[in-house]
Amino acid sequence: MHAVRWRKVFRDLVSHRFRTVLVVLSIATGVFAVGVVMGGREILVREFDSEYSASVPLNADYFTMPFSDPIVRRAREYPGVEAAMGRHSTSLRYRWAGSDAPRSISVVGIKDYDDITVQMLVPEDVRSWPPRRGEVVLERAALQVGKYEIGDTLEVETSEGKTESLTIIGFAHDINAVPAQFIGSETGYVSFETLPDLGEVKAYNELLVAMSGSDLTQREASLLAEDIQRDVLEANSITVLGSYVPKPGSHFLGDIFKAVSLLLLALGLLSLLLSGFLVVNTVSALMAQQIKQVGIMKAIGGRASQITWMYLGMVAIYGVLAVLVGLPASAWAGTQFIRFAAGILNFRVASYVPPDWVTALEVGVGLVVPLLAAAVPVRLGTRTSVVKAFNDTGVSSASFGHGLVDRMLGLFRGLPRPVALSLRNTFLRKGRLTLTLTTLSLASAVVMSVFSVQASIGQTIDDLDAWWRYDAQIRYERPTNRLGVERVVSSTPGVTGVESWIGANATLDRADGTTAQGFTVYGLPYGTRFVAPELLAGRWLEADDTDAVVVNTDARKAEPSLDIGQRVTLEIGGEKRIVHVVGLIKGQLSGSLIYMDRELLGGMLSEDGVTATLIQTASSDPLQQRKALDAAEARLEEANYRVVSTRTQDELREQIADQLGILVAFLVIMAVLLAAVGVIGLTGTMTINVIESTREIGVMRAIGAQHGSIYQIFITEGLAVGFMAWAIGAAAAYPMSLGLTELLSGAIGMPLSYRFSWVGVGAWFGIIALISVAASVAPAYRASQVSVRDAIAYE
């Protein structure tokens, strides 16, 4: 536009470059935060869901005695079955050059790689496809735990105790495979030809069934799964060793996913709020600064509406610039964020493009929010009578000397002049102080809450340590003679105590004829000293119990009928038993567990023997414990006992910490983003304060103020705001972190202990001090460069 008033708008933007950059950055930060978080969340959920639903997830999984193609065909023809396939899976130990200790691998033998109809497998980086005899393709999550490379060999211990080499020929992706980092066991795909080399039969031992219907309920799935087991497997004399019916349509990481997405949503809303504050703050400061010019323009005939449009136009230009900066920046950061998330959650991303509404929201935050934020100050500014505008000094000097604040400041009479002056400045600009303080306090509260959530996760893991009174565990391939293995293990150097448990899968028969699956029953000596259960209700197992069981909170949550005093029917090892729930203990992050006396459980099972041995060692050093465990495993193998996996409790703790670590990682991203918004907000405020005080600074310089004093003034002001935000944030962090921990605990279905992080409060004190200084240095530098002449000439 030609009009001179628009020329003024552009000229102001250009000649106040520093301010323009600052305002644009402030708004762009809001656009960025919203784009990354909301966009990230949408893309995450969209890409995960699309890959997951295209993967044909299974609805029922049966582990059986060997069977062949006709059974699979029958399963495929069964009404209600969408797809079915057989495969051979087994868990083996292997050694690999990249790791000292032997590791576990879940080997999956697939007969025809062109006929995978359930749980799609996508080759990603393979030398050839499909794997031939002697070759293995690893599920790509293995790369999260070790630097596996194509061409590496895995020395696999076969079922017969021999060693067989498998060459890695590539990596494939199965979104339904439990990622290696979560279970401490890799997944490898081999051809059927390889199975005999590994001591396995060339036949299926696992049947995967996907059912039709998109809105299948858990109950429908369970009922159909039972029918298939009876009609397809058992009717053809195929013994079912175990079965698993997951909640239809929900991925095993679904809960973690839900938690992450909830966190992101919370963060998104928070950043929306914060960027709103930031924008309001910046624009009001801008208007405050322009008030005199508004007065002049009105005095020479400018109407309020004309002046309003000028400033709204100015804000719109800021907004457009901010969107131009914020959109690409958030697209870039969003891509990095999704890559990170896709890596740890193990899914593939087809497109990094956010949905249109997110882009619209970003534009809204960049354009609409500033305009709305500007509306009030611009209106107030243009409505101010000319005489008020002329008398405006940016501070209401009339009220100084009366307020509570001033009386409070009066208490600090001993302060050096510049310090007292800067504190006075801070409090004088009350409106701006409130907004800056709100932004920074919110950011502080979130950061300190994140510290507390992390501490709570640490506490939860510490609580696990309190429950575990053993150091390591060995699991056997099949029920094994207790006295035999205990003799071998307890004579291993470094082992100081052993106890063996029986583990079995259990199904609960409800009164209404339906069943609940997915329980594990542990038989352990009632007087065990290997765990220290934290009783929440009822009592622990006792010597003369005949049908008593204790359940954990996870089991109770999964099946409310498992309440104290209830008698329920459990189906264990094919036999139905009525048991009596006598106690409730806190869950240990390992699923729905039911405990009963070992002798009692042993009596219920047809096959005699224990399935796991727990070990106490002489050392508290994880490496020594691992050594003792490896030695025990070697001795057991020597004595012909088949070990399926070993792990030290320390390794398990790491795995759990890794899983919860995902949440912490997201929380940290959240905290950093918010802190950034806070820093930019504070820098903006400080800069505007400097610009506003230009004349004052010039006068101080004229009467002899040194650089140091000027720095002192602005840095003190920055610190004052920072510390106030810290104090308010710390107070808010307690309820906020408590709520966040509850939220997470609900979302992931694990009870989390709560611990308030005083370390976090202390650390943030240090960080916010640094941030405050950093945010004030640039403005203070500008202030120190103000020459007396400029200051006096200023507008």
Binding site for other proteins (CB under 8 A): 2-5, 7-8, 11-12, 15, 292-293, 296-306, 383, 385-387, 390, 398, 793, 795
φ and ψ at 592, to 5 degrees?
Answer: -80, 110
Tell the smallest beta-carbon distance from residue 295 to other proteins (Å).
Answer: 8
Closer residue to other proteins, CB minimum distance, 218 or 293: 293
Tell the smallest beta-carbon distance from residue 314 to other proteins (Å).
Answer: 12
Residues 449, 769 contacting (CB under 8 angstroms): no
Closer residue to other proteins, CB minimum distance, 6 or 734: 6
Closer residue to other proteins, CB minimum distance, 388 or 417: 388
Residues 314, 12 contacting (CB under 8 angstroms): yes
Tokens of 610: 């224990």
Residues 6+ apart with CB under 8 A from 739: none
Closer residue to other proteins, CB minimum distance, 517 or 694: 694
C-alpha 452 chain-centroid distance? 14
Closer residue to other proteins, CB minimum distance, 377 or 751: 377
Closer residue to other proteins, CB minimum distance, 68 or 397: 397
Amino acid at 221: A
Closer residue to other proteins, CB minimum distance, 333 or 428: 428
Instruction: Using alpha carbons, select from 118, 122, 114 the residue that is nearest to residue 89.
Output: 118
Closer residue to other proteins, CB minimum distance, 163 or 385: 385
Closer residue to other proteins, CB minimum distance, 241 or 793: 793
How many of the other CB atoms lie within 10 Å of CB of 706? Answer: 12
Separation between Cα atoms, residue 366 and residue 364, nearest integer Å: 5
Tell the smallest beta-carbon distance from residue 27 to other proteins (Å).
Answer: 21
Closer residue to other proteins, CB minimum distance, 758 or 794: 794
Tell the smallest beta-carbon distance from residue 382 to other proteins (Å).
Answer: 8
Tell the smallest beta-carbon distance from residue 301 to other proteins (Å).
Answer: 2
Tokens of 231: 């009609």
Closer residue to other proteins, CB minimum distance, 318 or 347: 318
Cis peptide before 130 (omega within 30 of 0): yes
For residue 381, how many C-alpha atoms fall within 13 Å in the half-sphere facing its CB?
Answer: 28
Could you tell me if residue 678 is left (phi over 0), alpha (psi between -120 and 50 degrees) or otherwise beta? alpha
Closer residue to other proteins, CB minimum distance, 241 or 387: 387
Cite the beta strand spans of 301-417 per DSSP E. Answer: none
Tell the smallest beta-carbon distance from residue 292 to other proteins (Å).
Answer: 8
Could you tell me if residue 552 is left (phi over 0), alpha (psi between -120 and 50 degrees) or otherwise beta? beta
Tell the smallest beta-carbon distance from residue 657 to other proteins (Å).
Answer: 58
DSSP single-letter state for residue 246: P
Separation between Cα atoms, residue 439 and residue 450, nearest integer Å: 17
Residues 499, 525 contacting (CB under 8 angstroms): yes
How many of the other CB atoms lie within 10 Å of CB of 230? Answer: 11
Closer residue to other proteins, CB minimum distance, 394 or 503: 394
How many of the other CB atoms lie within 10 Å of CB of 735? Answer: 11
Strand partners, 125: 171
Residues 286, 688 contacting (CB under 8 angstroms): yes
DSSP single-letter state for residue 486: H
Tokens of 395: 């501070």
Separation between Cα atoms, residue 183 and residue 659, nearest integer Å: 10
How many of the other CB atoms lie within 10 Å of CB of 379? Answer: 15
Distances (CA, A) of 789 to 697, 702, 785, 794: 11, 9, 11, 8
Closer residue to other proteins, CB minimum distance, 11 or 510: 11
3-state helix, strand, coil in the chain (%, to 5): 55, 20, 25
Closer residue to other proteins, CB minimum distance, 30 or 377: 377
Tell the smallest beta-carbon distance from residue 394 to other proteins (Å).
Answer: 16
Tell the smallest beta-carbon distance from residue 257 to other proteins (Å).
Answer: 53
Closer residue to other proteins, CB minimum distance, 293 or 515: 293
Tell the smallest beta-carbon distance from residue 1 to other proteins (Å).
Answer: 10
Tokens of 51: 């890959």
Distances (CA, A) of 278 to 125, 267, 275, 365: 46, 16, 5, 11
Residues 484, 641 contacting (CB under 8 angstroms): yes
Closer residue to other proteins, CB minimum distance, 382 or 683: 382
Name the pairing type of β-strands 99-110 and 185-191: parallel
Tell the smallest beta-carbon distance from residue 719 to other proteins (Å).
Answer: 32
Amino acid at 285: A
Tell the smallest beta-carbon distance from residue 9 to other proteins (Å).
Answer: 9
Tell the smallest beta-carbon distance from residue 46 to other proteins (Å).
Answer: 47
Q: Three-state DSSP class for 513?
A: coil
φ and ψ at 504, to 5 degrees?
Answer: -150, 150
Q: What angle separates helix 304-345 from helix 40-54, to the nearest 10 degrees?
A: 40
Separation between Cα atoms, residue 318 and residue 327, nearest integer Å: 14
Tell the smallest beta-carbon distance from residue 35 to other proteins (Å).
Answer: 33
Tell the smallest beta-carbon distance from residue 299 to other proteins (Å).
Answer: 5
Tell the smallest beta-carbon distance from residue 784 to other proteins (Å).
Answer: 21
DSSP single-letter state for residue 158: P
Instruction: Using alpha carbons, select from 86, 88, 157 the residue that is nearest to residue 115.
Output: 86
Tell the smallest beta-carbon distance from residue 384 to other proteins (Å).
Answer: 9
